[in-house]
């Protein structure tokens, strides 16, 4: 299962305006891991994710997925293995019906239409919105949009799921449903988020980014409960670990 | 603002109508597009004084609206919103053309009025036909009809993207305009000094959004090729629909049926 | 102004469709040659932006009225003429379908009037020419403003011509021009100012966007430019001569325009009417019925009619009226019965 390993070595990236977004990021993720990437606004989380799917290319350092380095030439392979769920579902749902949107990826890989249909139906079924397949995206609720965006990625049969802020702008119930859904996936998961409680529940490992560098990388339970470390990085303990505001106990 | 809300509502109501499943909705989109085309051509091909011959054309919208369960009020509202433009131009006809055309014992009607009403009816029928097409077919299926008609993919993709993002961007524009008007009471629109910055920032955000959309397309293997799903095959019913209506339109173009009926009734034959 | 179906003749509508299809096909080829696949989502999302931004009210200083963004020139400046034209086309397709703004038959005319003149005449000949000396706030402002105004003036003049050639209105050429051009001058100035303000802002905030768009599009060869320049000159000259005529000899021009448009109108259905009357002969009890075509039949040596009916006839008028009312009644009954049958079906299905 070596092709599920992600190796990132000394990644550096500068924006066109000269601002440094990533300043030597290194880590290794193995098969089936679930990683939370946390950090304050502007820490470089989204930029890092963009590198994992080859939307951006590093100025220095390299990334490989499995044994394949991420370069312009290997993009078709990389993108089949790594599925990315964008922060804003409206950016990802660009077709006029949910069905066509989910079918977009498989059709680009020139799968026969029967296979496309099978994949669309099974991914929509997985995220629980098969009944919405003929709807236009603007008619979906926030939670349904998020589910549809995830389905568009699942239909590509990726080994690795990369997600940018999957729980942002979701109501508590939709958030809960999404967490359960993600828990049921066996894919390798890389989740960039500010939702510490979700990381606490979903990810056994956490990477904290600050100013484009990895500050810590280790077991979630240890990192997220470290009050000083969290504050230093502009973060907060998960609510579940904070004192109870009513009775004042943990 | 009301404009923004109203147009969003208008798009959504037509989209919702297009989701119905009636006999008319189930007809192949290509046949509906072609039938609409023939209908429009026949309608505007009537000469400016041919008023009564036009009237049988009204059967088409009447039959379609009832068969397709299209609610009359929103559709007619839209027609009434557009019609004044046509009336504006048409109203000059009675001013410039005063030859008596119809002479009844109690009244004389000038050619200008006849041609005015002819424009009015044509306007009404053509607007209705376009709205009926979209309300019974929907944008996605019209796109697949265009695909069959060999319109290049690039244009169709672009058309669908525009259509898709209209609702997103109208909402975004609405939010910005609302935020602006909340802080500038008593203004009807955007002040001159803010023309560039308000629209410009929206535009830059739009360009960034386009970039993100492009990225999300790339992540799913987009390489400039755009693939639409296949429309189900055409049945005999679809072809009969097209041929039947076209035949009807051509017949009423060649024979003035109302005049025939009228003369039968009145006995003014030879 | 959007051209409406009802004001067009099939000939003019068809010609404009053909012209637009030609320009569009050429533009698609050009855009595809760029192989910049990034442009496709950009065009789509920009189209939606222009659509939405057209609904923003901009209050005009010291007048109390408000104006809107046009879009054509903005698209040309940001996307280049080819992609700009295609994007404008898709905006107009959606407007025609969902808003009945201009009809489907008039779509060709509308795309041409609002897209062609801005993207292929005003943009290369005015905006680009002014910008050629290098970018500056002043040049961007004047270039955008002038190009917007002239693009719209040409479009409005084109609307006048298409309407008159269609021959549905009695509006004399001179009056129509005098009506359309000044109104569109006012609209054009506001559109131009808004567009100039937006482009100016973008240039200050993100200059690379404006420069990239203008540089990316290498106008395929000078020959096209020359053709377009020729077209523009011809249009301006004819426009000028016509408007001079219009003000100098209003009656004469009205007369000639009416005459030409009238002829086209009446000649086209002539063949149809001959067939019609030959059929009418066979079905003897049918009256030789039609309004004005009567006069013509006299001149168009129609031997099949034994007696030339007078153009104005009480009998035909009344029978036309009665027949019309009957037709409408029948239509209403048809609609109502379908409605009732459907309702009953639904009731029995439940």
Structure confidence by residue, pLDDT tens digits, A136-186: 888 899 999 999 999 999 999 999 999 999 998 889 999 999 999 999 999
- The domain that holds C130 is classified in CATH as 1.10.1760.20
* Residue C227 placed within a domain: yes
Nearest to C320 among B44, B168, B259 (CB): B259
* Cβ atoms of residues B89 and C7 within 8 Å: yes
Determine the 3-state secondary structure of C20 from DSSP. Answer: helix
* Cβ atoms of residues B252 and B53 within 8 Å: yes
pLDDT-derived band at C83 (thresholds 50, 70, 90) equals very high
pLDDT of residue C250: 35
* Cβ atoms of residues B262 and C322 within 8 Å: yes
- The Cα of B74 is separated from the nearest Cα of chain A by a number of Å equal to 20
Task: Write out the H or E segment, with its range, that includes residue C304.
Answer: none
DSSP state of B190: B
* Cβ atoms of residues C91 and C47 within 8 Å: yes
* Residue C175 placed within a domain: yes
* Token pair for A125: 């079924």
pLDDT tens-digit profile of A86-96?
999 999 998 88
* Residue C310 placed within a domain: no
* Residue C305 placed within a domain: no
* Cβ atoms of residues A109 and B179 within 8 Å: no
Inform me whether the pLDDT recorded for C108 exceeds 90. yes
pLDDT of residue B225: 67
pLDDT-derived band at C279 (thresholds 50, 70, 90) equals very low
pLDDT of residue A203: 94
Mean pLDDT to the nearest integer, C116-135: 90
What percent of chain C has a predicted confidence (pLDDT) above 90? 27
Residue numbers of the domain that contains C217: 5-290+317-349
* Residue C296 placed within a domain: no
- The Cα of B87 is separated from the nearest Cα of chain A by a number of Å equal to 35
Inform me whether the pLDDT recorded for C70 exceeds 80. yes
* Token pair for B155: 């244009």
* Cβ atoms of residues B4 and B177 within 8 Å: yes
Inform me whether the pLDDT recorded for C88 exceeds 50. yes
pLDDT of residue C192: 92
pLDDT tens-digit profile of B49-77?
888 888 899 999 999 999 999 999 888 88
For residues C289 and B253, the model is more confident at B253
pLDDT-derived band at C164 (thresholds 50, 70, 90) equals confident
Nearest to B55 among C167, C269, C327 (CB): C327
Inform me whether the pLDDT recorded for C91 exceeds 70. yes
Mean pLDDT to the nearest integer, C56-77: 83
* Residue C300 placed within a domain: no
Dist CA A227 CA A230 (whole Å): 5
Q: Spell out which residues of chain B touch residue A120, defining contact as CB-CB under 8 Å.
A: none
Q: Spell out which residues of chain A touch residue B163, defining contact as CB-CB under 8 Å.
A: 96
* Token pair for C335: 């609609």
Dist CA A72 CA A53 (whole Å): 11
pLDDT of residue C284: 31
pLDDT of residue C244: 42
pLDDT of residue C309: 38
- Across chain B, mean pLDDT equals 86
For chain A, which ranges sit under pLDDT 50? 1
Q: Any CB–CB contact under 8 A between A49 and chain B?
A: no
Kindly state the greatest CA–CA separation across chain B: 76
Q: Any CB–CB contact under 8 A between B169 and chain A?
A: no
Nearest C-alpha in B relative to C26: B152
Residue C51: alpha-carbon gap to chain centroid: 18
* Cβ atoms of residues C261 and B42 within 8 Å: no
- The Cα of C56 is separated from the nearest Cα of chain B by a number of Å equal to 7
Q: How many domains does chain C have?
A: 1
- Across chain C, mean pLDDT equals 74
């Amino acid at each position: 299962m070596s092709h599920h390993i992600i190796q990132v070595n000394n990644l550096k990236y500068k924006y066109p305006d000269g601002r440094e977004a990533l300043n030597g990021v290194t880590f290794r993720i193995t098969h089936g891991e679930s990683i939370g990437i946390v950090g304050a606004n502007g820490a470089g989380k989204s930029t890092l994710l963009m590198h994992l799917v080859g939307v951006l290319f590093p100025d220095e350092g390299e990334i490989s997925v499995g044994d394949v380095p991420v370069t312009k030439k290997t993009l078709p392979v990389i993108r089949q293995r790594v599925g990315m769920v964008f922060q804003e579902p409206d950016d990802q749902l660009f077709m006029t019906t949910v069905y066509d949107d989910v079918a977009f990826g498989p059709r680009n890989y020139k799968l026969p239409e029967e296979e496309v249909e099978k994949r669309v139906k099974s991914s929509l079924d997985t995220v629980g919105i098969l009944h919405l397949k003929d709807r236009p995206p603007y008619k979906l609720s926030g939670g349904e949009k998020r589910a549809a965006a995830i389905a568009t990625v699942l239909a590509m049969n990726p080994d690795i799921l990369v997600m940018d802020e999957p729980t942002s702008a979701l109501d508590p119930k939709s958030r809960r449903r999404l967490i359960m859904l993600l828990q049921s996936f066996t894919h390798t998961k890389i989740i960039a988020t500010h939702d510490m409680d979700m990381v606490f529940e979903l990810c056994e490992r956490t990477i904290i980014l600050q100013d484009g560098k990895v500050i810590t990388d280790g077991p979630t339970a240890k990192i997220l409960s470290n009050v000083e470390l969290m504050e230093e990085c502009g973060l907060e303990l998960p609510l579940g670990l904070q004192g109870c505001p009513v009775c004042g106990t943990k | 603002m009301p404009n923004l809300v109203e147009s969003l509502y208008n798009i959504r109501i037509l989209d919702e109508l297009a989701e119905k499943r009636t006999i008319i909705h189930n007809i192949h989109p290509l046949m509906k597009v072609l039938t609409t085309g023939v209908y429009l051509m026949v309608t505007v091909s009537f000469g400016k004084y041919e008023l009564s011959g036009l009237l049988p054309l009204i059967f088409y919208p009447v039959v379609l609206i009832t068969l397709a369960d299209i609610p009359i009020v929103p559709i007619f509202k839209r027609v009434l919103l557009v019609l004044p433009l046509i009336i504006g131009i048409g109203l000059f006809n009675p001013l410039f053309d005063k030859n008596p055309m119809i002479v009844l014992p109690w009244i004389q009607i000038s050619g200008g009025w006849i041609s005015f009403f002819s424009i009015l009816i044509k306007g009404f029928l053509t607007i209705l036909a376009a709205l009926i097409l979209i309300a019974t077919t929907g944008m996605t299926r019209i796109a697949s009809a265009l695909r069959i008609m060999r319109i290049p993919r690039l244009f169709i993709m672009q058309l669908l993207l525009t259509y898709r993002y209209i609702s997103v961007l109208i909402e975004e524009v609405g939010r910005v305009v609302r935020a602006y008007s909340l802080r500038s009471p008593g203004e009807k629109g955007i002040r001159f000094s803010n023309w560039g910055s308000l629209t410009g920032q929206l535009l830059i955000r739009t360009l960034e959004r386009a970039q993100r959309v492009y990225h999300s397309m790339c992540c799913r293997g987009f390489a400039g090729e755009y693939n639409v799903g296949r429309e189900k095959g055409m049945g005999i019913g679809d072809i009969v629909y097209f041929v039947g209506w076209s035949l009807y339109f051509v017949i009423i173009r060649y024979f003035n049926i109302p005049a025939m009926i009228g003369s039968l009734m009145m006995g003014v034959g030879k | 102004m959007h051209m409406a179906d009802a004001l067009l003749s099939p000939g003019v509508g068809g010609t404009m469709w053909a012209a637009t299809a030609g320009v569009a096909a050429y533009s698609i080829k050009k855009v595809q040659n760029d192989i910049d696949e990034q442009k496709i989502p950009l065009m789509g999302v920009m189209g939606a932006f222009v659509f939405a931004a057209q609904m923003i009210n901009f209050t005009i200083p010291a007048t109390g009225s408000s104006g809107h963004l046009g879009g054509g020139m903005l698209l040309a400046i940001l996307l280049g003429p080819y992609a700009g034209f295609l994007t404008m086309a898709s905006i107009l397709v959606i407007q025609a379908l969902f808003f009945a703004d201009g009809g489907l038959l008039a779509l060709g005319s509308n795309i041409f009037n609002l897209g062609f003149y801005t993207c292929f005449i005003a943009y290369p000949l005015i905006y680009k020419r002014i910008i050629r000396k290098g970018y500056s706030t002043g040049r961007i402002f004047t270039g955008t403003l002038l190009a917007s105004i002239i693009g719209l003036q040409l479009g409005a003049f084109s609307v006048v011509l298409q309407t008159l050639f269609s021959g549905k209105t009695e509006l004399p050429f001179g009056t129509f021009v005098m009506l359309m051009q000044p109104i569109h001058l006012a609209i054009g100035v506001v559109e131009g100012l808004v567009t100039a303000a937006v482009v100016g802002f973008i240039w200050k905030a993100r200059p690379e966007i404006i420069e990239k768009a203008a540089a990316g599009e290498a106008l395929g060869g000078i020959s096209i430019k020359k053709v377009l320049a020729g077209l523009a000159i011809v249009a301006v000259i004819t426009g000028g001569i016509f408007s001079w005529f219009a003000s100098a000899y209003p009656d004469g021009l009205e007369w000639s325009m009416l005459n030409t448009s009238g002829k086209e109108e009446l000649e086209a259905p002539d063949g149809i009417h001959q067939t019609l009357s030959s059929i009418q002969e066979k079905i003897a009890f049918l009256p030789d019925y039609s309004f004005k075509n009567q006069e013509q039949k006299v001149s168009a040596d129609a031997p099949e009619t034994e007696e030339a009916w007078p153009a104005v006839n009480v009998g035909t008028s009344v029978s036309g009226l009665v027949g019309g009312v009957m037709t409408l009644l029948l239509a209403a009954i048809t609609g109502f019965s379908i409605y009732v049958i459907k309702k009953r079906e639904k009731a029995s299905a439940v």
